[in-house]
Each structure stands twice: as structure tokens, then as C-alpha cells.
Amino acid sequence: MTATTDGPAGPGVSGTKNTTRVAPPAAPAAQESVTALAERTAARAVDHLLARQDEAGWWKGDLDTNVTMDAEDLLLREFLGIRDEPTYAAAARWIRSQQREDGTWATFHGGPGDLSATIEAYVALRLAGDQAEAPHMTRAAAWVREKGGVARSRVFTRIWLALFGWWRWEDLPEMPPEIIYFPKWFPLNIYDFGCWARQTIVPLTVVCAFRPVHPAPFALDELHRDPAHPRPDATMAPATTWDGAFQRIDRALHAYRKVASRRLRRAALREASRWIIERQENDGCWGGIQPPAVYSVIALRLLGYDLDHPVLKAGLASLDRFAVWHDADTRMVEACQSPVWDTCLASIALADAGLPRDHPALVKAADWMLGEQVVRPGDWSVRRPGLTPGGWAFEFHNDSYPDTDDTAEVALALRRIQHPDPERVERALARAVRWNLGMQSRDGAWGAFDVDNTSKFPNRLPFCDFGEVIDPPSADVTAHVVEMLAAEGKQHDPRTRKALAWLLSEQEADGSWFGRWGVNYLYGTGSVLPALVTAGLPTSHPAIRRAVRWLEKVQNEDGGWGEDLRSYIDSEWAANGTSTASQTGWALMALLAAGEKDGKAVERGIGWLAETQREDGYWDEPYFTGTGFPWDFSINYHLYRMVFPLTALGRYLHGDGLERLARRVA
């Protein structure tokens, strides 16, 4: 697969808002009816999507994030002493290709320069052999100094630098491995963190306990404002504030390090080692995510595991599978892989586009998805010990962390497919429904991975400045679960009605919904409206009418919809951005669910999809429309530009696939 790039800088690097809501004009479509346009566009998209299915039945698009993944991969190799010149050279070519004209690296296409990403990319290029005096490097270093230097970067960046002596361990927040012993009712126990943070923090407590320093191959004075005094004077917030309280807790933890019982510390490190190894997946990775895998490998190495030990050998091999090679000489590292998510969304899109329910591609996809159901307990069972497993995870191998969102969408996909073994499907769906219902939080909504993962303390820790570290319920996930429950005949279940009430209470004043896992209000609204209607809310309901008015208001002049990631930190960016295929698909799915098939907004949206589609059925979409952590970590799912437009086109032409099935059964 080939990642989409738009040159070193890409469009929109100035960071100005798209206040006129105009995207570059597309060539006018021939005078066809909207139905004819939709049919032609959908047919091309179906052919393209079918051609991309793997022989095993799954789909997977590239998962594009930012160059910190590539930089940290090289830093890991340097720390472990497994330097590989072809890999370094290929990674460096990718990192250089993503540098912007001002010398910086951003965390999403068209976004502003990011200090930590720029520092890590710069260091990786130095490791690969780029000289500090090279023009592209001097531009980067000057920008870093202008923004405050290394001292202003995130904690994780400074941890990587500390591994090589470029930053003092003493000047980093402390996180002792003894937290592994905190009971689950105790504040800041590891299960108070979201699963992605938990998997990262446990191995990092080991790393921070050892405070290793690998000899640095060069100095980094050029990345400090004042190399002689790289650490600015720390300012303490008032003790009466949460920030001040946690700063003082961090001071106390530094003091504790000096007096900690060696016996207790050794026991905690052994327990952390056991915890890490127990969560290694069959493919050698940890949770199917690159960052926890990287830190777990370092932690186990520090604990004495040899690089040839089966655990470490499998872990390192798994990291190579995150690499996407372009033309055999450029290497991009994915933060994660999304085959389950991509496969269920592709199946829904194809079924809703009119593919026969027993089409071989859909049956093959169903077979693969059925084989991926997680049937053993994972970390979620700490809060739900009596709940029978039955969810799906996001990745190829991740039995520890299935999520409610994938489970809901897989169930919606399987319900659309006519499988030759219907009893097997019904058993899988029954387990999925039971598990998702058991994962409902107290307020009636759903988080992605855990129940009631809402403690406010983890986000306050000085250690946790790398993005969202808890997993509270969100409107988009809750909507997908509600849609699934309604499709399974549970629209009148009290638990579904409680979730429905929660969704209505979460609507923004302008009529939209916040999107936790996609950008942003367009994703939230595109998720919620189909769920509300599937659950029985009439399209005349005031909440639905408010959402429709909002979607019509924020449509771009070219007919599409777009939203920049800056909407997470600045409300003026809400539904404001260059039109994209995925976000246009979300808006159309919402409007169609609300009964607006004959509306002008839908007609213009379909026209935009038809005009911007490539001859091969694909849409170009360099903009990031997926979210890992709102604002802090952004994702370009390369299959989003296919599955969501096709779903919308299919629903325009044929109606929702489950509605058609229900009518046929009736």
C-alpha cells in the first residue's frame, strides 16, 4: 500500500481557518440525475473495495499518524544496539519527506508544527547520518529553540532523550513501579488509566526505575535555548490547585525514590515484568499498538531478558510488522493496524451498496470476523469479573483489549451477511450483545475499552502529558452500541433507553455531537443520528431537526463537508475545513437517516463525491479524519475515504441495509 503525501509542507500550513468554507473547485459533473451520479460513483467504489480484499477475507488500509512513530523506532534500535543501515536510511527518507518548509514536523496533514514531533524527527535524522549543519536541520533546530527548546517538549520526548543522556532523569516526573500494587479501588491504580495508557505506563515505570543511559553518539546543544542551563526554573502552582497538588506529589515521589525499600522495589519490578509478559499477544506485540510494544521491549531488556529470549525476539519481530514500505526504499511505521475495524466497515459499505448478502466477498469477510471474536477475559474483566467474553478488538492480535465500538460495528456487519452457518453467527451475536450490555457504564453510556474509566486524577499527573489517558463514555461509541442493540431487537430494553436518554442529553447547543474517535462534530453527529432513528426516534424529533439544520448550515460551498482537527481546541473550527470524502460520507449518513434524501444538501453532497472520485473508484484524502487522542494524536485511516462515502451512496440508492433486511423478513 502507498501512503498519500502532498510534499514536504502540504496545504494549509499557515493554520488559517477556512472561513469561506470553499475547497478547490472540482470539474463540473455531466448533467446526470442525482440517482445516476450515485449509481456510477457507488459502482466504481464497490469495484475498488472488492479488489482490495485480502484472500483471507479482511480489509486493511494504511494507518498514517506522525513521524514520532518512525523516530522512536530508530531510537529503540539505537538503544538496543541493533542498528540496521538500510532500515535507518529508509526511515530517514520518510521522515525527510514529511518535513515542512519552515523546518518543522506536524502531527497531522496541514496542521501546525509540533515541538515534540520536530525534536524526535530531528534526533532520528541525526542518528541516520544527517549533519546538524544541513539546511533542513538548521531550520528545524532554530524553530525548536524559538519554541523553548527541549525543556518545553512533552515528557515522553524527554524520556527518549534521557535514555541517551541528552536529558537528566532527575528532571523528569517520577512514576514508581510500586503502583502495580495499588488495589483497584485506590486512586491512581493502573486500572484508573485507559488501556492504552496502562499498557504504556507499566513498562515505563520499569524504565524510570532503572534510569538507563546509553552513550549518546553526539551532543544536542543546538536544541536548547541555553545549553549550559537546559532546564528552566520550575514554577510551582499554588498548593490549593490540582496542578499544584500533583506537582508536590511528584516531588514526594522523587524523595521516596531515595528511601524506597530495595526489597519492595525488586518485588514491584518482578510483578511489573509478569504483568507485561502476561499481556504479550500471540504475534509478539502488546495490545496491537506500537508504543506499548516499544516500551515493553525496553523494560524487559532492562530486567535482564536477552535479545534472543523468545519474548523479546517475538516482540521485536512484531514491531517490524508495523512497517509499511513504499517502493522498497521508504519506510513508514504504523502506530497500530486496523483490520477488524476496516473489515466490518467495508462489509457494511458493500452490503448497503447493494452487494448480495451471500456474495462470496461478504461471506469470506464474515468467516474471518467470526474467527476474530475474543472469547477469553482481558483487562476489562477487572471491573466486570463475572461477564462472559464476546467482543472484538481492533487489530489482528489483541485478546487483552476488545472494545465495544468494534464489537458493535462487527455485529452490524454480520447481521447484513447471509452466512452458510447461521447458527454460528447467532451464537457470536448473542455473545457480543451480552458482552456489550455488560460493559455499559453507570451513566448509561459506553467507553471504548473499560467500564466507568472516568477518574480525573490520571490526567493531572505531570507524567501524563501525552494525550488522553482515561476512557470515559463518548457519544460516537455509545451511538454505535445503541444502533447495534436496536438492530438486535433491543430498542425497548431499559438499558438501551437509558443510553438513548444519555445521547440526547449530550447534544451540543448548535445541534451537533462531539466525536471522540473521529474528527469531530461531523463524526459525532454522523454516528448519533443513524442510531437515534434505528432506536425508534421519529425523524421529526427536535434533536434530529436541530442536527439537520446544523449539517445544512456547515456544508461547504463546494457541496462537501470538512472539519479540521483544531476543532478539538478551538470551537471556531467545528465542521470547518476542506471537504473530505470520509467527512462528507458521515454528514450524508446522518442526513439520510433523518429522512433528508430529497434535500438539496444531500444532492450537493453526492455531487461532490461524484466530482472528486478518481477513475479507479478511490478518493484522495490527505487530511486526517481519525482520532487517537483528541488533538494530541491524530490518524489518517486510508480506508475511511472509501467505506464511508460508499455507505452513504448505498443508503441513498437502497436505504439502510438492515432496514431492507427487516422489510424483507416482515
DSSP per-residue codes, 420-438: S-HHHHHHHHHHHHHHHHH
- What residues pair up with 518 in beta bridges, in sequence order? 626
Does the annotation mark 403 as catalytic?
A: no
**Contacts for 171 with CB less than 8 Å, ≥ 6 apart:** 158, 231
Contact of 121 with 105, CB cutoff 8 Å: yes
**Contacts for 405 with CB less than 8 Å, ≥ 6 apart:** 446, 448, 476, 477, 480, 481, 517
**Contacts for 131 with CB less than 8 Å, ≥ 6 apart:** 137
Q: What is the DSSP letter of 28?
A: P
SS3 627: strand
Report the DSSP pairing between strands 633-637 and 323-326: unpaired
Contact of 636 with 622, CB cutoff 8 Å: yes
Which residue has cell 492480535? 397
| Catalytic residue, candidates 399, 405, 471, 564 | 405
SS3 487: helix
SS3 386: coil
Q: Report d(CA 513, CA 640) in Å as an integer.
A: 20
Q: Report d(CA 28, CA 291) in Å as an integer.
A: 45
Q: Report d(CA 60, CA 1) in Å as an integer.
A: 10
Helical (H) or strand (E) element with 271: helix 262-278
Contact of 211 with 169, CB cutoff 8 Å: yes
Q: How many residues does the chain have?
A: 666
Task: Please give the positions annotated as active site.
Answer: 405
